[in-house]
């Protein structure tokens, strides 16, 4: 069937008429802050107490925009006769947001939950060199990180909890069987160790 002449023009005019009848809504920013979606990607916040300077975030970053400096410190032995240990101490943690593409790989690979998404987005600068934010600024953004959403009550139980519960039930059954085999005269000793040597 050949197209009707002027059909495209009629559709365009219909869209225009529909838009003209709607009320205009103006976002009063910056006086009124916008309501952001729950998982907005604003900036990356640092919880430096959890950072072990493992460098995974800097190595996995496709833009190489994370700069980390550290030094080693010797920790004295906790008990007499013990050996000293060394640990990494964070000196610098900076992110260059002029290079960052907000992929979130650094947050995903961090094994110690030291990096989080913050919904903050007002960090524009007049000089591009000032978009490299040091750990003090990243730490300030940590207080704007929202709480994680509540778990869905119908969700599947986490594998770690299911495995721990299965092991606990297996040990309880094993102890009950041992107590039944020992007879009613010998009460079960709660400090009896199982086959793996745990009390």
Q: Is the pTM of this model over 0.85?
A: no
* 7 HSE (CA, 13 A, CB side): 4
pLDDT (tens, 9 = 90+) of the chain, 199 residues, equals: 677 888 888 898 999 988 888 888 888 888 888 888 878 889 999 999 999 999 999 999 999 999 999 999 988 888 888 888 888 999 999 999 999 999 999 999 999 999 999 999 888 889 999 999 999 999 999 999 988 877 788 888 888 888 888 999 999 999 999 888 887 655 555 555 555 455 4
Give residue 62's region: left, alpha or beta (phi > 0; psi -120 to 50): alpha
CB under 8 Å to 121, separation ≥6 — which residues?
A: 36, 40, 42, 43
- Closest of 97, 130, 138, 79 to residue 114, by C-alpha: 138
Helix (H, G, I), strand (E, B) or coil at 67: strand
105 exposure class (CB count in 10 Å sphere: 0-12, 13-18, 19+): middle
């Amino acid at each position: 069937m050949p197209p009707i002449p002027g059909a495209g023009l009629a559709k365009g005019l219909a869209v225009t008429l529909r838009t003209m009848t709607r009320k205009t809504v103006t976002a009063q920013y910056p006086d009124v802050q916008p309501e952001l979606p729950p998982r907005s990607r604003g900036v990356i916040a640092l919880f430096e107490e959890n950072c072990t300077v493992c460098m995974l975030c800097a190595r996995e970053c496709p833009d190489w925009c994370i700069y980390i400096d550290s030094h080693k410190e010797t920790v004295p032995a906790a008990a007499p006769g013990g050996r000293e240990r060394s640990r990494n101490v964070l000196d610098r943690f900076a992110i260059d947001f002029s290079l960052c593409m907000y992929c979130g790989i650094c947050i995903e690979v961090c094994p110690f939950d030291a990096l989080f998404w913050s919904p903050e987005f007002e960090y524009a600068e007049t000089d591009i060199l000032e978009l490299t934010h040091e750990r003090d600024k990243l730490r300030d953004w940590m207080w704007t990180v929202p709480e994680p959403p509540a778990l869905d009550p119908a969700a599947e139980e986490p594998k770690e909890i299911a495995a721990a519960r299965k092991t606990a039930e297996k040990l309880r059954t094993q102890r009950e069987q041992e107590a039944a085999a020992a007879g009613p005269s010998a009460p079960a000793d709660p400090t009896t160790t199982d086959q793996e040597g745990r009390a």
